[in-house]
């Protein structure tokens, strides 16, 4: 059966390739672009609706959710957008650390404001294994700044966020996906995994009716289940992360 799938960060790389692969197999996709110029680029590649908004801004993230709601219900949402920034610690217009806001808080906000689909997919990274979830220092205000550390932390948080959502909403199939080290602008030309391989699992989880795609609360790479990092599996940490995101954004998740 055809599905309607919203994919964040889908103007290039893994997000766009996931959209293309879904469309090739008969599914409807809704793309997301950071700004109008990127939206125009996406439309030149793929004939699909595009919502526009910069996830560096809470107000624009809320506007993205509003645009998605206006398009009707989604069968699946793939939280693909993410950044890895070298250099020093930078704050957004909301006074929040950029990597945390885009990689963790934005998917939380969108999860809270887009009507709950039957499937949720959170794209993480193998680098999560080097991360930490320090609930009273999620934005590395107290620890020594490390751009790599901030990215690792954020991707570990994404696994915890996925598992927390799976626990909270048992009627929704929720997964965290590591696409591998993929040859994209972020991954670089020397990465060992081609972009279609790195995109396939997300599309499968969002659209397939195979029993293996319908098991919730898993961490997956290339359609194989991975062990969950202990910090992300901790239920108290999961609850603390949801509480922190609610406090920072001023937005609560819908009732069960």
Q: 3, 108, 122, 155: which one is catalytic?
A: 155
Quick count: other Cβ atoms within 10 Å of Cβ 233? 15
Say whether 46 sits in a helix, a strand or coil.
Answer: coil
| DSSP-derived pairing of the beta strands 119-123 and 4-7 | unpaired
Please list the alpha-helical segments (H only) found in the chain. 13-24, 36-45, 58-70, 98-100, 106-113, 147-168, 195-207, 230-233, 235-249
Residue 95: partners with Cβ closer than 8 Å, 6 or more residues away: none
Active site residue 3: no
Q: DSSP of 71-121, one letter per residue?
A: T---SEEEE-------SS--B-TTSSBHHHIIIIIHHHHHHHHSPP-SEEE
Active site residue 151: yes
Question: Which class for 201: exposed (0-12), middle (13-18), buried (19 or more C-beta within 10 A)?
Answer: buried
| DSSP-derived pairing of the beta strands 218-221 and 224-226 | antiparallel
Asked if 229 and 91 count as a contact pair (C-beta separation under 8 A), the reply is no
Q: 108, 122, 151, 219: which one is catalytic?
A: 151
User: How many CA atoms does the CB half-sphere of 63 hold within 13 Å?
Assistant: 15
Phi, psi torsion values for 31, nearest 5 degrees: -95, 165
Give the residue numbers annotated as catalytic, written as ranges: 151, 155
């Amino acid at each position: 059966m055809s599905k309607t799938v919203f994919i964040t960060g889908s103007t290039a790389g893994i997000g766009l390739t996931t959209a293309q692969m879904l469309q090739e197999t008969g599914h409807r996709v809704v793309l997301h672009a950071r700004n109008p110029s990127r939206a125009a680029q996406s439309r030149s590649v793929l004939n699909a609706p595009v919502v526009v908004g910069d996830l560096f801004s809470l107000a624009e993230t809320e506007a993205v959710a509003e645009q998605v709601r206006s398009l009707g219900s989604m069968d699946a949402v793939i939280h693909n957008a993410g950044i890895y920034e070298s250099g020093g610690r930078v704050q957004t217009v909301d006074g929040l650390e950029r990597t945390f806001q885009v990689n963790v808080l934005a998917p939380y906000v969108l999860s809270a404001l887009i009507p709950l689909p039957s499937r949720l997919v959170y794209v993480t990274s193998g680098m999560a294994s080097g991360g930490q979830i320090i609930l009273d220092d999620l934005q590395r205000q107290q620890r020594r700044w490390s751009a790599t550390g901030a990215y690792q932390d954020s991707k570990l948080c994404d696994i915890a966020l996925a598992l927390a959502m799976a626990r909270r909403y048992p009627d929704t199939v929720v997964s965290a996906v590591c696409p591998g080290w993929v040859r994209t602008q972020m991954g670089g030309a020397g990465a060992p995994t081609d972009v279609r391989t790195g995109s396939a699992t997300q599309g499968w989880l969002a659209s397939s009716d195979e029993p293996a795609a319908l098991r919730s609360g898993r961490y997956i790479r290339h359609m194989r289940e991975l062990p969950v990092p202990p910090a992300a599996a901790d239920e108290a940490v999961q609850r603390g992360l949801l509480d922190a995101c609610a406090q920072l954004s001023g937005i609560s998740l819908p009732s069960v």
